[in-house]
Structure 1
Amino acid sequence: MAAGPRGDRLSILRKLGANSSIYASTNVLQRGAAFLLMPLYTHYLEPSAYGVLAIVTAVNGILSIVFTLGLTSAITRFYFEYQDDPPMLAQFWGSILVFVLLLSATLAGLLLLTGEVLLRPLIGDVPFWPFVALGVMATFFQPFFSAFLAVLQMRNQAARFAAVSLANFALTTVLTIALLVQMGWGVRAPLIATLVTSAVFFFVSFWLLRDDLQLCLRWSHLKLALGYSLPLVPHSVSSQVTAVVDRLVLNSYLGTAAAGLYSVGAMLALVVEVLAQSVNRAYVPLTMGALKRGQPADIEQIRTAGTVFVGLFCVLGAGVAGYAPELLWLMASAAYAPAAVVVPFLVFAGVANAFYLIFVNVMFYDRSAVRLIPLGTVTSALICLGLSLVLVPAFGLMGAAVAAVLGQTLAAILIAVVAYRYEQVRWSYARQALAFGLSLATALGLSRLDAGSLAANIALKLLGLGCLASVVGMLLWKQPRLFGRALLELLHGRPRAAAAILLDGATPT
């Protein structure tokens, strides 16, 4: 018997949940090694040294986009065009990767020779040698591994994705601990560990992809790929600038110690960002497949899953932000306690990014819309930079945090407006915006709550989160008990029943 609409929705959400759980755990390992090692870093590194690491990481994020010209996105997009023609797909991927290797080698060599001058406006007082130079070399090796992970994602090979990411994390962790704890190399330890791991997995990725590639440089393929990716470069650079400009401005005005404190607060916020990107990794192939088919039932599945996505992240964000003082007490040394004040704003910058990911998917699918994506992100980056330059000198860490959440929120709003004309899914924009605002207000209140004891704080904050979950459930689906009923099923070990509860009530109103 053919599955009905509810069965179809349950199937897509089950697949989304299963793959998201794999991507979440592995993305934490892939991108979150610094988060998991935070107790170690804050014990062995002073805030100023941690700030050096934060600045190098921020600069590497920008360089990684310039080194690839966004061509990894073409690997993702055109997989759906060539998946039924393996020889053509092998030529397409091979042409992209050969070009990226040549480009990144040229730019890395140029920066190693002239980076002391070229990068000085970004790195401030951070020495180029050896710190930034180590980052440049690591960035050269990373694009091939990123491309390999993109291939696994598009093929829905989540288990293989997990195995490779776990190996990458394990090597980075072992090397970092050995160099930091045993050798006492300070901030050089994580930078060298990242460089060595990137080099190793450059060759591992090449070996594992050897049967899927034809190493060549076909202009026809490269022209098609660049035609898709180049309009996205301003978007990618702007997104990265929005993500790191707060730390760069803090370093410029207040020094590496302030950047270090702020970055520890950002590490807690990374939990939400990593989870959002993990869910999105599972969501993207499902969305693109549904958009390609264009069937109303498929579009409704995407609408249901996307609304559950943003509702859950509103409540999750309030939880992480509300417990920020307790989490910092548990994970970092006392020197980093002042970072708690910035966590709610940075967490909800991550929640705003979750909204953005939902809205922007249709624009990545529609080739005519790709060129419009930078309208939102470039404007957002410029405003975030301007706000940081104004607010950081006046308000320090808090000014940078407010600039971050405003920048990310504006990016989500602008992309939603631009994407509306292409969007096949009609979202409940006003209700989602209200859910976001109420969740941020709750997070700010809970993070400042002090009932006099740890136990009382935990209990009262949990009560506040329960109330928020009811309000969000009522607002998005007119079902205040939706999250609570699903949570009870999860606690009883019945994830399918929890998914069914969400789907029964999660049709947006």
Structure 2
Amino acid sequence: MQSAKQLLSQTAIYGLSSILGRFSYFLLTPLHTAMLSKSEYGVNTHIYAIIGILMVVFTYGLETSFFRFAGKDKENSENWFSTTHTFISLSTLLISAVILIFLKPISGILSYSETPHIILLLLSILAGELLVVIPFARLRLRMQPLKFAGIRLSGIAINILSNLYFFWLAPKLFASGYPTPFFSGEIKVEYIFIANVLSAVLMILLFLPTYIQTKWSIDKTKIKTLLIYGIPLMLAGLAGILNELIDRILIKPILNLDELGVYGAVVKIAVFMSLIIQAYRYAIEPYIFSTAKEKNAREHYARIFDFLVVFLSIGMTGIAAGLDYIKFFIDVNFHEGLHLVPYLLVSQLILGLIMHISLWYKLSDQTRYGMYLSGIGAVTTIGLNLALLPIIGIKGAAIANLVSHIIIFSISLYWGQKKYPVPYALGKNLGILSLGTILCFAFAYFQGYFLVKTFIWLTFALWLIFQEKNTLKSLLPDSLKK
């Protein structure tokens, strides 16, 4: 019981720091969209999509590998750490050298030939993030969640404060004639990246004792073991991240930066859903793994799925019902993309369901299926984006994302029921999802009528809660059932 409580408390700390970080950056969206043009915000969207993909590639799956092997071989955990951290650090130095040497052609390929300094900022962010990956992993292995959260939140704080300085305080001071250190007087997208670099530098400084104490060496046998385990995970992760971010890479060359800026801003509205999903993931996944061997575990997973369908359906339709006001979260210059919101919300809902039903291959130690599913999703997303973007613009990206998630969900459910059957109430849940989807599109497309939409949403939410009251009650702790 104590270990379970410890697991839940640590999960809460790790999860809270992660969710708080995403939510804090999310809250900067109104500031960025108000101060930047569509094309500048498009640059922001494009650069962070590239960073997201490169982070997966250049960690080589070694974070998970380190957890696995250092966790099993605790006596030699420091050797595993030094090998993993040294390898990623040397790799980061090599990547940095290559980009610096070939900066001009790389800038040209990415369409930043006139602003190569943006690629240098990209490199600085990437290198900074790579250098703290394994130190953060060691904190988790050592069960030091407070130190983990403290360093992570310190980085988040300096990032947010820097953004507030560059995009809010400095312009006001400059206009009033006061000195503004590090601010040129012109608002630029580069300041977002500079804030991130400052955040990365702070985290590196906080990990300085770790770097000083590290035995900088690579055990050839250990790194071979780590890479053999990690590279397949990297390939699966790469397919997964391509499925989520490749649209932001393709919109720029196929359409333009203005369209990418609009798409990137509207996607932020759907982040409300992703925050709900992430909260679920941190709260439920550890519980599911810790109860995997119980007799009625699969029946319980089915009830959790019922709850998740209700929870996400209420969240999705609530966001759509409130879109008349939520839309002002992004500047009015970006509102031309609001017609994409229902597609993105439904897509996020399905992604949340995928996270639950895809636990079958983790629980049954058949993780290769995760790579297959991610690959299928990536191929679908890339193919549909290439086909639809030139014809219907950024709506094609939203449709591609939705269709890809539907395909992954369907295949994962089919394979899962063959290899790890769970008694899901599919008919009932598909009915709820269908009704929720219809309401989501209706709420989003009929502008105004806020009170009417709110009444319909409340009726829908209360009806779902009433229908599923027994399921919801079964998931409560015994102390709350009385």
TM band (smaller chain): 0.7 to 0.9
Number of paired residues? 467
CA gap of 1:240–1:204, structure 2 versus 1, over 3 A, is same
- Show the counterpart of 1:492: none
Once the two structures are superposed, the pairs formed by residues 83-482 of structure 1 within 5 Å of their partners are: 85-114=73-102, 116-118=104-106, 123-124=110-111, 129-150=116-137, 159-181=146-168, 182=170, 183=183, 184-205=186-207, 207=209, 216-291=217-292, 294-297=293-296, 302-329=301-328, 331-364=329-362, 367=365, 369-423=366-420, 425-451=422-448, 456-457=449-450, 459-470=451-462, 472-473=464-465, 479-480=467-468
Q: Render the CA deviation track for 1:331-390: whole Å, top value 9, x for unaligned.
A: 2222122232112212222222212222333434555x2233221111111111111122
The alignment's TM-score, normalised by the length of structure 1, stands at 0.80
Contact 1:310 1:355 in 2 (8 A): yes
- Show the counterpart of 2:179: none
CA gap of 1:349–1:111, structure 2 versus 1, over 3 A, is farther
**Partner SS for 1:499:** coil
Q: Render the CA deviation track for 1:372-429: whole Å, top value 9, x for unaligned.
A: 3221111111111111122222222222211111122322333333444553755445
Aligned partners of 2:69 and 2:346: how far apart in 1? 33
Contact 2:19 2:278 in 1 (8 A): no
- Show the counterpart of 2:43: 52
Contact 1:442 1:468 in 2 (8 A): no
CA gap of 1:231–1:422, structure 2 versus 1, over 3 A, is farther
How far is the alpha carbon of 1:444 from its aligned partner? 0.9
CA gap of 1:298–1:364, structure 2 versus 1, over 3 A, is closer
CA gap of 1:339–1:501, structure 2 versus 1, over 3 A, is farther
Contact 2:343 2:399 in 1 (8 A): yes
CA gap of 1:348–1:43, structure 2 versus 1, over 3 A, is same
How far is the alpha carbon of 1:472 from its aligned partner? 4.6
Contact 2:107 2:116 in 1 (8 A): no
CA gap of 1:130–1:415, structure 2 versus 1, over 3 A, is farther
How far is the alpha carbon of 1:55 from its aligned partner? 0.3
Contact 1:134 1:191 in 2 (8 A): yes
How far is the alpha carbon of 1:127 from its aligned partner? 5.1
Match status 1:31 vs 2:22 = yes
What letter corresponds to residue 199 of structure 2 in structure 1? T
Aligned partners of 2:236 and 2:130: how far apart in 1? 18
Q: Between the two proteins, what is the percent identity of the paired residues?
A: 18
Aligned partners of 1:216 and 1:179: how far apart in 2? 41
What letter corresponds to residue 61 of structure 1 in structure 2? G
How far is the alpha carbon of 1:145 from its aligned partner? 3.2
Match status 1:499 vs 2:458 = no
Aligned partners of 1:420 and 1:503: how far apart in 2? 33
Q: Render the CA deviation track for 1:211-232: whole Å, top value 9, x for unaligned.
A: 8x76542334333332322112
**Partner SS for 1:450:** coil
**Cα-Cα RMSD:** 3.6
Q: Render the CA deviation track for 1:178-214: whole Å, top value 9, x for unaligned.
A: 2334124411101011112112213424646988x76
Aligned partners of 1:501 and 1:390: how far apart in 2? 53
Aligned partners of 1:51 and 1:343: how far apart in 2? 18
Contact 2:266 2:330 in 1 (8 A): no
Q: Render the CA deviation track for 1:84-139: whole Å, top value 9, x for unaligned.
A: x5323333233222222222221232123325535755x34685611132112211
What letter corresponds to residue 105 of structure 2 in structure 1? V
Contact 1:73 1:229 in 2 (8 A): yes
Aligned partners of 2:390 and 2:52: how far apart in 1? 25
Contact 2:139 2:147 in 1 (8 A): yes
CA gap of 1:500–1:335, structure 2 versus 1, over 3 A, is same
- Residues 411-420 or 151-160, more deviating: 151-160
How far is the alpha carbon of 1:59 from its aligned partner? 0.6
What letter corresponds to residue 94 of structure 2 in structure 1? T
CA gap of 1:152–1:356, structure 2 versus 1, over 3 A, is farther
CA gap of 1:94–1:468, structure 2 versus 1, over 3 A, is farther
Aligned partners of 1:24 and 1:172: how far apart in 2? 19
**Partner SS for 2:420:** coil
Aligned partners of 2:121 and 2:142: how far apart in 1? 33
Aligned partners of 1:427 and 1:223: how far apart in 2? 41
Q: Render the CA deviation track for 1:459-478: whole Å, top value 9, x for unaligned.
A: 3233232343356557xxxx
The alignment's TM-score, normalised by the length of structure 2, stands at 0.84
What letter corresponds to residue 39 of structure 1 in structure 2? P
What letter corresponds to residue 336 of structure 1 in structure 2? F
Aligned partners of 1:153 and 1:445: how far apart in 2? 44
Aligned partners of 2:137 and 2:419: how far apart in 1? 25
Aligned partners of 2:87 and 2:295: how far apart in 1? 40
Aligned partners of 2:382 and 2:259: how far apart in 1? 17
Which 5+ residue runs of structure 2 have no aligned equivalent? 171-182
How far is the alpha carbon of 1:38 from its aligned partner? 1.1
Which 5+ residue runs of structure 1 have no aligned equivalent? 3-10, 487-496, 505-509
